[in-house]
Structure 1
Amino acid sequence: MASFKIEGGHKLSGSITPQGAKNEALQIICAVLLTDKKVTVNNIPNIIDVNKLIFILGELGVKIEKISKNSYTFQADDLNLNYLESEEFKRDGSSLRGSIMIVGPLLARFGKGYIPRPGGDKIGRRRLDTHFEGFIRLGATFRYNKEESFYGVEAKELFGTDMLLDEASVTGTANILMAAVLATGTTTIYNAACEPYIQQLSKMLNAMGAKITGVGSNLLHIEGVKSLHGCEHTVLPDMIEIGSWIGMAVMTRSALTIKNVSWKDLGQIPNVFRKLGIKLEKRNDDIFIPEQESYEIQNYIDGSVLTISDAPWPGFTPDLLSIVLVIATQAKGTVLIHQKMFESRLFFVDKLIDMGAKVILCDPHRATVIGHDFQSMLKATNMTSPDIRAGVSLLIAALSAKGTSIINNIEQIDRGYEDIDQRLRAIGAKIERIEN
């Protein structure tokens, strides 16, 4: 188990390029199972969660060639479907939540898909009902082995249908979409997630020969086809990492350029940071954050306290609320953070309180942050990363704090951020990886 040792209080400078989007890459890699032809994927982030999924596909028999650090070819032309019922798969699949998205492609192409209960972040309940209800609507039979926590769906043939999802689940939409592209007839998915990553998956599937319309909306139309062919696809930059770099620049009062951010896919993110008083400049497709000694949270027009909350796209992503919360600890003013979508993601604030932040945890979903305006610096401490996003938020706090902090359980951070310590050192951070 490794830790980060961080000496806080140092300014950052220069430029940094965001990695490929983790959440898109997990969907795209699962989609290669829909064809026996070669698929090339570029800008894949070199992180634990993505590498675990690539390993699972390799065990399943997918031919994988690493072209460069972040580019791969995949060819699923000779799969070992017996692996899906093996003890090895039950072990491998249960450690990664993203593995759930292999079920849709396998069901569509081979008539069966199995998955152990997936793992991932400990951030509250993350239901799988949307996935399996969608498969059942397409004509699959569902079974669940309670003793082994093992799910399965089987169908001789899938048939297009109209469905209204009970929630706009991103992974649920992706999974059902991948199953529907090879179904007989036409499927409509209403209340579909419409995140840029779902749009990217749809564009990739269409490039492979699928017939999906309504891309970018919450109503998708899928006309089933007999088979798909290969394609080449490039993953978007990770909007969560972009938000993380903004947080690091602001909390260390540094000037920083974030390169090639795909502004058109950032949605509400720049606007929410501006509401916190943060200056962001659009320079072609880059973000420039100037050095700011202070930033003031905007109140609402009537003078009431600003609330920042998460919502399905095009609302503000829940993955950045913990970053916003940390930034607010040194802002001028007060903000209410309302985490609507997950009930345990705010529990990391006790670490910030230990560091001297003024945060009132109202309940599992809401926290009020009273900013210090840098009049009182956060204090260094020893802490443990509970999940990917909280881990990076604590890292941002440590970079701004007075003294030397230790963050344990950094595998949680490595799950979502590629070579983060090396990349931070390159822009001036004092961070060291310690193998315990």
Structure 2
Amino acid sequence: MSSFRVKGGLKLKGEITPQGAKNEALQILCAVLLTPEKVTIHKIPNIRDVNMLIELLSDMGVKVERLGPESYAFQADNVNLKYLDTEDFLKKASSLRGSVMLLGPLLGRFGTGRLSKPGGDKIGRRRMDTHFLGFQKLGAQFNYDKNNEIYHIDGKNLKGTYMLLDEASVTGTANIVMAAVYAEGKTTLYNAACEPYLQQLCDMLNRMGAKITGIGSNMLHIEGVKNLKGTVHTLLPDMIEIGSFIGLAAMTQSEITIKDAQIHRLGIIPDTFKRLGIEMEFRGDDIFIPAKKHFEIDTFIDGSILTVADAIWPGFTPDLLSIILVTAIQAKGTVLIHQKMFESRLFFVDKLIDMGAQIILCDPHRATVIGLDRKYPLRGIRMTSPDIRAGVALLIAAMSAEGTSIIDNIEQIDRGYQHIDQRLNALGADIVRID
């Protein structure tokens, strides 16, 4: 287990470029299984979850060629389906949440898929029903071995159909779309997720020869095809990392420019941070955050306390609520953070309270932050990262605190943020990795 030793109270300055989007990468990488032809992908982030998925694809027989620091070529012309029955596959797949999206491509192209129960962040229940109900509606048979926690999908002749998804799951929508591109006839997905990353996946599949319309809406129409070809794809910048850098700049009173942010794809993320009182300038596709000591939380029009809640796209992404919460600690004013989707994601606030933050954890889904307005600095402590996003929120708190903090279990942070210590140290941070 590794840790970060963080010296707090330093102000950062400079430019930083966000990595390729982790959540998009996991979908796009699974999609290479849909064709025997070469697929080239650029802006792949060098992070633990992505690297594990690339390794798993290679073990499955996919030819993997590294073209550069962020570019890979994949060719799935000789996939070893027998490997799916091995303990090695089940063990590796179970350690990676994104492995569930292997099922859609495997089912669509090969008519079968097998997977052990995926792992990932411990942030509460993350049910898989949407994926498997969608597969079943396409005509697949679903079996679950409760004793060994193994999912098995079988379906050689998928048929297009109409389906109303029980929730607008991003990974569920991606999985069903990747299976449906090979289903005979027309498939309509209503209540589909429409995040930019899902739009990217659909655009890529269309370049490969799929016939998907309604992209960007919550109703997708998919005409099944017989074959897909290769393509070249570039990932979007990671919107979660962009939001993290905005919060970091405000908390540490730093002047930071976020380069190549593709602002038009960020939805309401910039406006939500602006409601905390954070100033930013859009300079082309760059976001400039000036160094400011004070920022004041907005209220609703009637003067009531601002609530920031997560919602399906184009609402505010749940992955940034932890960052919003920690950023509000040194603001002036009060905000209610409402995490609707996961019941364990706010429990990290006890570490922030130990650092001196004024936070009331109302219940597993809601926390009220009473901003300190810089009247009291946070103090450095030793703490443990429980998941990717909470880990970076704790890192932001530590960088703004007085004294030195130790953050344990930083493998969680490494799952989602590429060389975060080196990149922040280049701006003036003092973060030491301890193995």
What's the TM-score, normalizing by structure 1? 0.99
Q: Which residue of 2 aligns with 1:432?
A: 432
Instruction: After TM superposition, list the pairs within 5 Å mapping 1:382-393 onto structure 2.
Output: 382-393=382-393
Q: What letter matches 1:63 in structure 2? A: K
Q: What letter matches 2:39 in structure 1? A: V
Q: What letter matches 1:70 in structure 2? A: E
How far off its partner does 1:248 sit?
1.0
Structure-2 separation of matches of 1:318 and 1:248: 18
Encode CA deviations 1:166-196: one digit per residue, 9 max, x unaligned. 0000000000000000110000000000000
Q: Which residue of 2 aligns with 1:168?
A: 168
Instruction: After TM superposition, list the pairs within 5 Å mapping 1:143-222 onto structure 2.
Output: 143-222=143-222
Q: Which residue of 1 aligns with 2:274?
A: 274
Q: What letter matches 2:212 in structure 1? A: I
Q: What letter matches 1:251 in structure 2? A: M
**Percent identical:** 68
Structure-2 separation of matches of 1:190 and 1:397: 41
Q: Which residue of 2 aligns with 1:71?
A: 71
How far off its partner does 1:156 sit?
1.8
Q: Which residue of 1 aligns with 2:115?
A: 115
Long gaps (5+) in structure 2:
none
Structure-2 separation of matches of 1:156 and 1:383: 50
1:39 equivalent in alignment to 2:42: no
Q: Which residue of 2 aligns with 1:130?
A: 130
How far off its partner does 1:90 sit?
1.1
Long gaps (5+) in structure 1:
none
Q: What letter matches 1:172 in structure 2? A: G
Q: What stretches of structure 1 move > 3 A for 4+ residues in a row? A: none
Structure-2 separation of matches of 1:164 and 1:182: 19
How far off its partner does 1:21 sit?
0.2
Root mean square deviation, CA, Å: 0.4
How far off its partner does 1:147 sit?
1.3
Structure-2 separation of matches of 1:11 and 1:2: 25
Instruction: After TM superposition, list the pairs within 5 Å mapping 1:284-323 onto structure 2.
Output: 284-323=284-323
Structure-2 separation of matches of 1:104 and 1:300: 43
Q: Which residue of 2 aligns with 1:257?
A: 257
Q: Which residue of 2 aligns with 1:369?
A: 369
1:14 equivalent in alignment to 2:14: yes
Structure-1 separation of matches of 2:280 and 2:190: 35
Q: What letter matches 1:68 in structure 2? A: G
Structure-2 separation of matches of 1:146 and 1:215: 36
Structure-2 separation of matches of 1:301 and 1:419: 41
Instruction: After TM superposition, list the pairs within 5 Å mapping 1:375-414 onto structure 2.
Output: 375-414=375-414
Secondary structure of the equivalent of 2:424?
A: helix
The alignment covers a number of residue pairs equal to: 435
Q: Which residue of 1 aligns with 2:57?
A: 57
What's the TM-score, normalizing by structure 2? 1.00
Structure-2 separation of matches of 1:312 and 1:341: 10
Q: What letter matches 1:159 in structure 2? A: K
How far off its partner does 1:50 sit?
0.3
Structure-1 separation of matches of 2:152 and 2:264: 38
Encode CA deviations 1:251-289: one digit per residue, 9 max, x unaligned. 110110000001111001001001000001100000000
Structure-1 separation of matches of 2:114 and 2:194: 26
Structure-2 separation of matches of 1:102 and 1:371: 44
Structure-2 separation of matches of 1:83 and 1:262: 39
